[in-house]
Amino acid sequence: MRSSHVDPATGHPRKTAGQLLGEAASPAVNRRSFLGILSGAVFLAAAPAALTACSGTAAPQATSSGSLAETVAKLVPAYKPLELLKPDIASVNGSTPGFTSVPASLVKSVAKTPGSGGTYTAMTPAWWAVPPALPENGYYKAVNEKLGATVNFQVNDGNAYADKVQTVLASPKDVPDWMVIPAWNLPPRFGQAAAGVFQDLSQFLAGDKVNKYPNLANIPTAAWKMGCFEGGLYGLPYPGALISDALFYRADLFKQLGVEPPKSADDFREVAKELTDESKNRWGSEDVWTGAQIMHGVVPKWKKVGGTLQNKFETDEYRAALEWTAKLFADGSVHPDAVAGNAQQAKQRFESGATLMASDGMGGWHEALARVLPTNPSFDQQPMDYFAPDGGKPTLFRAQPAAIFSFIKKADAAKVEEMLALANFMAAPFGTEEHVLINNGVEGVHFTRDAQGVPKATDKGSTEVTSTYAFLVSPPVVNSMVQYPGLVQAQSGWEARQAPNVVKDVFFGVQIQEPAKYGSLGKPFDDLAKDIIRGRKTMKDLDSELASWKSKGGDELRDFYAGFLA
């Protein structure tokens, strides 16, 4: 089971909880691995703003006989969920199921060796030290032996991966057999490249054709839809979770101070002021702009109002979120370093108790526990149940169902079918022998188990095992962070409570690539928001920027998106 998610600040996967144990509190930039069975849960925490800031991806084209949604529906596999293990905490409306203990025995989900001796190259990113390649990597050897085929990985620096992707795609002969591309690295007009270079998988997987690959059929439909481009199914998905981010508070210090967590937007400000005591180096809040947008129900990108579309920057919810956050800053309740724009030390401030409320991706929860519990066993951060500004029912927008994909280069049917059989092995769900191997390597070689049965990487495992096979395709996320007492119950329970309030935005699950000329149209709003929040500019400046946005192409962009609603 994977133990990470995508960081909303960097767009990069986070470390495993187990990996973070024993490391310095300050997060490193290069990250070895974010996988580890039973060591954590994956939460796709790319906030709506983070994902929509990407250049986008090409949308499948509607046919003359049906709508865009109908076209996509014909391309994707039929969803046939597996329940090899019954979760202790059931999924609610798509929330992440929870497992509160390590399974006593593992299930074998792939009865026969899937490969037939093929050899394939695969290109993947890494935000950590690049592992040894074949033939020196024992992990690769072990997995390839079970696959019955050889996958040779070309692992590249994740921080420069966008440039690498564009370079490779510019020369089709250099495209590997299997290529991983995160959503934030998809280049402009990628759909055209996909149709020309990569295999349309719909002829192998659409509808009941996926029955040949039960673990692939176990991946939710919405994740598959994100892999549709130019009228075909091209991407094998790395599924994400229902909700990306939370507003966290220091439950241990709240209890110590006799303070209850806030229940409304005004209450948040009052609690933040009550907690702030400069003489004790304590401030009520970090910069919670991301959480403020979620609290106020700001749409990821476009909102349908009547028969027209409003951009998020034009909505009343966005204005309200800006005004509220500006008041929070004006109260003097935000840490001075956060006011100065120092986001890099936000986690350190929160974990040290210098700030008591903060906005973060869900994966940051177990990371914080890994860093802090060894030296502060009483440390307890908890997510607030989301509330509307007035304290009522919130409107939470569903996180994107997948943001990392792999693509198979066009090949003859036999090769494609072999690679899909390998993918079926890699997509084995939590609680299976295959899942342990993919995520941890060989027991006794790459990992050992602690008293709870949680795998712990050996030195060899730390060197060789990394996120390579799992990037090619992954099963649905689960939560099984049993090494932290109560965390599975708290985290899966929190998500289940929020799930009834989750809605889908008008373009949920549809890949749309904006024309290149609009690529930087929304960027001025990022800096403007920072200035308004800090009192350097006013809401009148937002009005001026909106007028400029419309005249420079905003209205044209609106018409472009409206075309997908026809």
pLDDT tens track for 381-397: 999 999 999 999 999 99
pLDDT for the residue 516 = 83
pLDDT of residue 235: 96
- How many CB atoms lie under 10 A from the CB of residue 519? 13
- Say what the pLDDT of residue 188 is: 83
Q: What are the structural domains, with CATH classification, of the chain?
A: 58-88+101-242+400-475 (3.40.190.10), 246-397+520-565 (3.40.190.10)
pLDDT in the model for residue 83: 85
How many angstroms separate the CA atoms of 56 and 522, rounded?
Answer: 13
Ranges of residues in the chain with a pLDDT under 50 are: 1-66
Provide the terminal-to-terminal Cα distance of the chain, rounded to the nearest Å: 40
Listed residue (172, 234, 239) closest to 204, CA to CA: 234
Q: What is the pLDDT of residue 17?
A: 31
Query: For residues 281 and 355, is the Cβ–Cβ distance under 8 A?
Result: no
Find the length of the chain.
566
Identify the pLDDT of residue 566. 66
Query: What pLDDT score was predicted for residue 514?
Result: 84
* pLDDT of the residue at 191: 87
**pLDDT attached to residue 39:** 29
| Cβ atoms 507, 400 nearer than 8 A | no
HSE-CB for 29 with a 13 A CA cutoff: 4
Q: How far is CA 156 from CA 29, 122, 129, 146, 466, in A?
A: 15, 11, 10, 25, 12
CA dihedral sign of residues 424, 429, 434, 439: positive
Q: 321 Cβ partners below 8 Å, 6+ apart?
A: 289, 292, 293, 295, 296, 298
Q: What is the pTM of this model?
A: 0.85
For residues 147 and 113, the answer to whether their CB atoms sit within 8 Å is yes
**Side chain identity at residue 141, one-letter code:** K
Please tell me whether residue 502 adopts helix, strand or coil conformation: strand
What pLDDT does residue 72 have?
A: 87
Residue 389 CB neighbour total at 10 angstroms? 18
The pLDDT assigned to 36 comes to: 29
Q: Are 355 and 285 in contact (CB under 8 A)?
A: yes
For 202-254, the pLDDT digits (tens) are 999 999 999 999 999 999 999 999 999 988 999 999 999 999 999 999 999 99
Whole-number pLDDT of residue 271: 98
**Dist CA 184 CA 50 (whole Å):** 9
Q: What is the pLDDT of residue 45?
A: 26
